[in-house]
Chain A
Amino acid sequence: DARVTQTPRHKVTEMGQEVTMRCQPILGHNTVFWYRQTMMQGLELLAYFRNRAPLDDSGMPKDRFSAEMPDATLATLKIQPSEPRDSAVYFCASGLVGQGENTIYFGEGSWLTVV
């Protein structure tokens, strides 16, 4: 059963520390998204990639956040330095977009707490 895999599932870290979240998209999917979800803001798009190329990262704070896709099986989201306001659930999602199927599948999320 194909699914999007995210690590870590849960992370508690101290303010100022670097946090790296990883995502393995579903094999064959050409589009990968990073979303952040909080009670106040709902689901916000941070960045997304198509065929590994970054298409839009306008939703991401550039001074501390970075997103990369070093290969087709791995997407990363890094926060350096982390701040308490970064506490949220970070979801990775992937889809085969623009080729008939349009469904986007979410991973189980990385639950981040910055203290």
Chain B
Amino acid sequence: GQNIDQPTEMTATEGAIVQINCTYQTSGFNGLFWYQQHAGEAPTFLSYNVLDGLEEKGRFSSFLSRSKGYSYLLLKELQMKDSASYLCAVRGGGDYKLSFGAGTTVTVRA
């Protein structure tokens, strides 16, 4: 299986930047995903990395280093609506299933 670790909680101020780290251990790595989940709602897709490097998508960027088993999600120009849980998920083991970390709850304060 996959071991996926991410911080439990983070707090930041509106307009600031927050970086959520994720470390993982898996065999047969085949992609890393970030999802956003607001309380009481379903997870929604944010980003996908399969090669090393940075993927930028508006205010959100995701970075991957396969050799280090490490990824981060960068949230810039934080808004109140960004308060949510951010889930790191890894596809590995030679199949198509997605294993999720416990999630990082980000609280944005005015």
Q: Tell me the A residues contacting B by CB distance below 8 Å.
A: 31, 33, 35, 42-43, 45, 48, 50, 55-56, 91, 97-98, 102-109
Q: Which residues of B contact A106 (CB under 8 A)?
A: 35, 42-44
**Further pairs besides A104-B33, A107-B42, A109-B42: 7, Cβ < 8 Å:** A35-B100, A43-B43, A45-B98, A102-B31, A102-B48, A106-B35, A108-B41
* B-side contacts of A56, CB under 8 Å: 95, 97
Residue of B nearest to A42 (CB): B102
Residues of B within 8 A of A (CB): 31, 33, 35, 41-45, 48, 50, 87, 91, 95-103
Q: Per DSSP, are chain A's interface residues mostly helix, strand or loop, or mixed?
A: strand
Residues of B within 8 A of A102 (CB): 31, 33, 48, 50, 91
Q: Which single member of A55, A91, A98 contacts B42 (CB below 8 Å)?
A: A91
Residues in A neighbouring B102, C-beta threshold 8 A: 42
- Whole-angstrom CA separation of A105 from B103 in the bound complex: 17
Among residues of B, the one whose C-beta sits closest to the C-beta of A45 is: B97
CB-CB < 8 A to B31: which residues of A?
102
Q: Is the CB of A55 within 8 A of B95?
A: yes
- Asked if B101 and A48 make an inter-chain contact with CB atoms under 8 angstroms apart, the answer reads no
Quick check: A31 and B96 within 8 Å, CB to CB?
A: yes
CB neighbours (8 Å) of A104 from chain B are: 33, 45, 98
Contacts of B101 in A (CB 8 A): 42
B contact residues around A107 at 8 Å (CB): 42
Q: Give the complex CA separation of A56 and B95 in angstroms.
A: 9
